[in-house]
Structures are given as structure tokens and as C-alpha cells.
Amino acid sequence: MRVIKLPCWDWLRHYNRQTMGSDLVAALIVTIMLIPQSLAYALLAGLPPEMGLYASILPLMAYAIFGSSRTLSVGPVAVVSLMTATAVGKVAQQGSIDYATAATTLALLSGLILVLLGLMRFGFVTNFLSHPVVSGFITASGIIIAISQLSHIFGIEAPGKTLPELAQSLATTIGTTNVYTLGIGASCLLLLQLSRRHLSGLLKQCGLSLFASETLARAAPVAVITLSTLVAYGADLQARGVALVGTIPQGMPAFSQPYIEWTVIEELLLPALLIALIGFVESVSVGRTLGAKRRERIDANQELMGLGAANLSSAFSGGFPVTGGFSRSVVNFDAGAQTQAASIFTAAGIALAALFLTPILYYLPKATLAATIVVAVSSLIDWKTIKEAWNYDRADFMAIAITILLTLFLGVEIGVISGVSASIALHLHRTMRPHFAIVGTVPGTEHYRNIDRHDVRTHANLLSIRVDESLYFANAAFLEELVDTELAQREGIEHVILMCPAVNMIDLSALEALQEVNSSLLERDVKLHLSEVKGPVMDALKRSPLLRQLGGKVYLNHHAAVLELAV
């Protein structure tokens, strides 16, 4: 267990007017970006739009107090919103509670899991998901999210949580497309895509500074939302069948206790764990990337506490699960944010929007929000990593492919589980047949290299095997097979030396395998020796019977062993 820390004191002690100015500018830019994103991701999660705003107020403040990154921006994100929609949809369909109540309960459970993991210093859980597998899951989620929003852009009903379900729904109902909705959605999609790719460059050509050009380009979604809202109001598109956001409650979220019922908790516990895991991995990845640019250290255990506090505050203020967002955090960083005060100022801006701007959003077409989501998630589709995996490591590629296919065809929850399983399976695959090398002496030196790669000197009575991996249950049998195979191919061997500079651990299964190898060699009148065994490994071996049974000796230096044993 650990003492709860408040990282905010580190930057509060040195806070000054200049830092405040930088944080205020960054907060203004992120607020402009976060308002449409919050509404859009609430729509993606199948929740009332105001819940997106609520999830962008107190969670930002909570993370500012407990989080270790100075520039990470927390709030609703696409992948977590999709996972939320999947989880709460199952519970709400059973009729026990409604979508909104299920979402706040999900945030509560995610927050509790994160805080518990933080108290137990389980920050290392990020190691169970390799970057390629996470990239595969996020890519598949991005595809599902983009396709799921086509129903809003076409103005049709096309439910579904997997690619086949969505494809079938779209194919069945595409004939009922509302042309006015399609016109709004397609126009917004085109404008957002053009502004994302070209607006900044055009503004720079017009003489604006780099900062002003990029700031205005990032504000393009607000301009598109404003324009489409005015068009919907002026042309009375609601009467023409265009779905609008409608009435959004005005004011701050009311504090309330999330719904606690054991049957509901049982249903939501696994989704909450998966959301906590994916959100944490994504958040830490973004935080470390940005922190490295300013030489700031991100504490994974403290991130668990910060994200846990953010999700708990979201649960008690009418929100849904949140995590650190990539695009939002990058904008926050590039806009000059120096501390988490920028997030506090952003939360204040969102609160003002909830107090005063919600009546204006009545005529906002849902197709506009759908277009915003499609453009936002297009950056999640990571073809580059998939291509690199294909060229560099086919095992990594297979793990990515399995994760993508299972996520697309069976759903995000199975996709996450398959991603974790693929990461572990990939590790086991790589270590169950570790690299062993038969080594010899590089002439004129005391260095030992692989006989298949270098011109080295060997000795007829010695078999020197370098072990390039820790020995444990998955590869213990392989070691026995290797020694037997090599001895069968050589005559006159009197000594086998296991060179162990890369062995960091020998578990009980591997220890038993070494004892079997030793016994087998003694029956053949061959002695087993060890060299260059690391201190912690040697300490463990001293507590075992292996050293007493060993036919040979343990050498500190492999060259010394060769000099003594060679003939």
C-alpha cells in the first residue's frame, strides 16, 4: 500500500503570473475544442449530450490534483466512449436501470479499480499490453466508431456493435436515407476534413503566424457547429426530419450517488476493468510521450490514482468514464500549457458553457456531431504500425491482425481480452524457444561469440552454450532438448558450460530441468558447469540442491572456465 500524494503541490509552489498566462491561453484553445468533442462523445456513448459536458468539468479538476502529468488533458475519448456504449447497452436492455445511470455506475467502478490498483502500486499492468496490440485494438475501434456514425450522417436507424451487425443494419435501412440529414452530415464532414488538412497552411499563406493559424484551424469544429446550427434553425430542418440535439439542461451537474445494486455491478465489473485498463494504457502512453519532450517523469502508479480520482468525480457529477485524450493533450501541450492549472481553467470554461450556451445548442444537428466523431477517429486508424509489423516481425503482425479481426467481428470487450491474451501469448511464444548459441573464443581475445556467425576457436572436449534468456517453465524443456541434440552431434565432449550473462531468473521448473540435465550428463561421464551467473540468480541457486549435485563448478568468468577445462 502507499501514501496518497498530491503532485499538484510540485507546480503550485512555483506558480507565477507568466505561467498562468500560458495556461490560460492553452485552456481557451482546449475549451473550444472540448465543447464539441464532449457533446459528440456523449452521442457516441449513447448518452444525453449534457453528460459529455459534465464529464469534462470535475474530472479535469480531480486529475489536476492527483495526476502526475502536467499537460495531459482528461475527458471523454472515442475508444472509452465506444466501450461505454457497449457496456451500458447490455445493462439498459435488461431494463434494470437506464443508460445514464449505468454510465455513472460504470465510471464509479472504473474509478474504484484504478484507485485500488494505484494503492497497490500496480502501474506495471501497462506491460501486459504491447504497443502493437494496443494499436490494433484502437485501429479496429476507430473503424467501428466511424461506421457506427454513418447512421446519424444518413439519418437512418442502423444499430450494431460489431462490423457485421453495422453492415447489415446499414444495408437494410440505407433506402430510408433523409437527404437533408445527408446533406448536412456530408457537408460538415467535408468542411472538417478540409480544415484539418489545409486550413492552417492557407491561413499561414495569408500572413497569419503559425500559432494563430493552428489555433484557428483547431477551432474549425466550433465554426462548423455554429454554421450547421444556424442552417438548421433558419431552414427549419427539424420539420424535414433532421435529428437535432434538442433540449440540453442548463446549469451545473447535480451531485448524486451512483446507483449501487449488486446485480448491476456484476454485469458492469468486467467492462469497468477493461475500460480502466485501456484508458490507463492510452493515458500513460500519451503522458510519457509529451513528458519526454520536457523531460518530465510520468509516475504510472500516480497516474492510476489521478485517473481513478477523475472517474470517481465523473461518477458523482453525472458523467461517464474518462481518460487522457491524445488529440486534446497534444493541443494542450502545443498551446503552451505549463501545468495542470490549464485543465482547471478548461473545466471552468466548460462549466460556463453548461451554464449559458446549452440553449443555443437545441438546433445542433446530430449529423454534425457524427461528422465531428468520424474526423476525430480517423487519426486512430494506425496503418503505419500494421505495415511496420508486417515488414519487421510477423509474430507482432499476427497479434495485431488477431486483435483487429476479433474486435471488428466480435466486439470491443472480446477485442480487449484478445489483445491482452495476444500480448501474453506473443511473449510466451518468443521465450519458450529462446536463443541459445554455441560459442567459441574470438582469436586473440577473451570474447566469446556464436560459432555460426563468427570465425572463432572451439575445443574438442568442451561444449560452451550461451543462454540468452531467463529460464522458466515455458522454455525449461527446450534447454534439455538442446543439450541432448548438441551432444548427439559431437563426440569426445567432457564438459558442458552454460554461459549465463543474460539469465535474470531461474524458476522452479527450470531448476528441475537443470537438475535433469546435470544427472543425464553425469550418466554419460560429462560434467555440467555454469559461468557468469548473476548475483541474484546465484543467491537463489544456493538455496537449492543443484549446486551440491552439480558435476562441475560455477565460474565467475567464462574465459577462466575455458582455460581450466580445455585440452
| Domain at 534, CATH number | 3.30.750.24
Residue 419 maps to a domain:
no
Structural domain tally of the chain? 2
User: Which range has the worst mean pLDDT, 252-256, 312-316, 398-402?
Assistant: 252-256
Residue matched to cell numbers 454534425: 368
Q: 445 with 374, same domain?
A: no
- Could you tell me if 301 and 118 are in contact, meaning their C-beta atoms sit under 8 angstroms apart? yes
Residue 396 maps to a domain:
no
Q: 236 with 376, same domain?
A: yes
Digit-coded pLDDT (tens) for 487-498: 989 889 999 999
Digit-coded pLDDT (tens) for 114-129: 999 999 988 887 666 6
Q: What is the pLDDT of residue 417?
A: 81
Q: 440 with 349, same domain?
A: no
Q: 48 with 155, same domain?
A: yes
CA dihedral over 25, 27, 32, 33, signed as positive or negative: positive
Digit-coded pLDDT (tens) for 344-359: 999 999 999 999 888 8
Q: What is the pLDDT of residue 93?
A: 67
Q: Cell numbers at residue 218, please?
A: 483547431
What is the C-alpha to C-alpha distance for residues 13 and 9, in angstroms, rounded to an integer? Answer: 6
27 class by beta-carbon count within 10 Å (0-12 exposed, 13-18 middle, 19+ buried): buried
Q: 444 with 535, same domain?
A: yes
Q: 261 with 184, same domain?
A: yes
Residue 386 maps to a domain:
no
Digit-coded pLDDT (tens) for 19-73: 999 899 889 888 988 888 899 999 899 899 999 999 999 999 999 999 999 999 9
Please give the full DSSP string across 253-300, using - where no structure is assigned: PPP-PPP--HHHHHHHHHHHHHHHHHHHHHHHHHHHHHHHHTTPPP-H
pLDDT exceeds 70 at position 95: no
Amino acid at 359: P
What is the C-alpha to C-alpha distance for residues 533 and 514, in angstroms, rounded to an integer? Answer: 14
Q: 267 with 148, same domain?
A: yes
How many other CB atoms sit within 10 Å of the CB of residue 421?
17
Residue 405 maps to a domain:
no
Q: 174 with 43, same domain?
A: yes
Domain boundary residue among 381, 403, 419?
381
Sequence-distant (6+) residues with CB within 8 A of 564 are: 555
Residue 481 maps to a domain:
yes
Domain boundary residue among 381, 403, 423?
381
Q: Cell numbers at residue 222, please?
A: 466550433
First to last CA, the chain: 57
Q: 75 with 212, same domain?
A: yes
Residue matched to cell numbers 453495422: 166
Q: 329 with 451, same domain?
A: no
Q: What is the pLDDT of residue 1?
A: 46
Residue 152 maps to a domain:
yes
The helix/strand/coil state of 249 is coil
- Angstrom distances, CA of residue 153 to CA of 147, 363, 370, 373: 10, 16, 6, 11
CA dihedral over 189, 190, 193, 196, signed as positive or negative: negative
Closest CA to 511 of 468, 546, 469: 546
Digit-coded pLDDT (tens) for 326-343: 888 888 888 788 999 999
Please state the pTM of the whole predicted model.
0.78
Q: 317 with 458, same domain?
A: no
CA dihedral over 131, 133, 137, 140, signed as positive or negative: positive
Question: Can you give the residue range of the structural domain that contains 507?
Answer: 436-565
What is the C-alpha to C-alpha distance for residues 251 and 354, in angstroms, rounded to an integer? Answer: 5
Q: Cell numbers at residue 120, please?
A: 497497490
Mean pLDDT of all residues belonging to the chain: 89
What is the C-alpha to C-alpha distance for residues 362 and 248, in angstroms, rounded to an integer? Answer: 7
Residue 395 maps to a domain:
no
Digit-coded pLDDT (tens) for 531-549: 999 999 999 999 999 999 9
Q: What is the pLDDT of residue 176?
A: 93
What is the C-alpha to C-alpha distance for residues 548 and 542, in angstroms, rounded to an integer? Answer: 9
Closest CA to 125 of 321, 313, 282, 311: 282
Residue 174 maps to a domain:
yes
The helix/strand/coil state of 357 is coil
Closest CA to 476 of 437, 534, 516: 516
Q: 323 with 443, same domain?
A: no
Domain boundary residue among 348, 381, 414?
381
Sequence-distant (6+) residues with CB within 8 A of 133 are: 399, 400, 403, 419, 420, 422, 423, 426
